[in-house]
Amino acid sequence: FDKEENAEIKEIITNIRTLKVEVAYPFLMSVYDDYSNESLSKSYFIEVLKLVESYVFRRAISGIPTNSLNKTFAHLYKTIDKENYLESLKANLILKENYHKFPEDEEFRSKLAVKELYGFRNKKYFFEKLEYFNNNERVNLDDLSVEHIMPQTLTSKWKDSLGEGYQRIQDTYLHTVGNLTLTGYNPDMSNKTFIEKRDMPKGYKDSSVRLNKDLIQLDDWNEEEMNNRASILSDLAVEVWQYPTLSEETISKY
């Protein structure tokens, strides 16, 4: 994996390593061998890598225990029909159930919208993937951190702007995807009001981060906007970590 020179393949491998899914390595080594021997095309190999990344990440967001992954990946290569390589792999992943399942779009979307993402080990990976998706004008995100738009400590101004239900709103949304973004100026933003964060030097209006562009259009940050942002980012995540698609007719063969 370290010696891979193709940039697209290397990026996905880096993502898989970030997810720390070592139990998948024996499976991936077998698939890599097929790719190296030219019995699997580069485009198909890339799709297999993306499937593994999506499978592991969707399960993590959905809170499915990881102890079943060992058994899944130990047997996965044996289920591949070499004459229908990608199709057979997709079908077998789609047909997995219970603790082995591949969470479908609706489950992934709904679990992501309410998950306390700030305490999630791969939160930076998550936001970087969203930021880079279909984006050819990439900024360096190495020095950026995940920031709470509504801060962890509510000032009197924040309490006033959120209204009487401020404590419920903070308890519900503080660490969720709808209230988080990327910035290089986390300490400077601190507990400032939303307008101050938006308009300050190097604030959201000056940000080169694409995930902050929608915030520029807003004049208030409240429960409705947190829900709207959660919905937008969850829909985007479904595109980034895709679920395998096959016709019912094709699946029935397996």
Tokens 């079908």 -> residue: 91
Report the pLDDT value the prediction gives residue 160, as an integer from 0 to 100.
97
Q: Report residue 165 CA to chain centroid gap.
A: 30
pTM comes to: 0.94
What's the CA gap between 52 and 58, in Å, rounded?
A: 10
- Of 47, 44, 53, the closest CA to residue 24 belongs to 53
Q: What is the pLDDT along the chain (254 residues), one digit of tens a residue?
A: 778 889 999 999 999 999 999 999 999 999 999 999 999 999 999 999 999 999 999 999 999 999 889 999 999 999 999 999 999 999 999 999 999 999 999 999 999 999 999 999 999 999 999 999 998 888 888 899 999 999 999 999 999 999 999 999 999 999 999 999 999 999 999 999 999 999 999 999 999 999 999 999 999 999 999 999 999 999 999 999 999 999 999 999 99
pLDDT at 139: 82
Closest CA to 176 of 126, 107, 242: 126
Residue 151's CB is within 10 A of a number of other CB atoms, namely 19
Three-class SS state of 41: coil
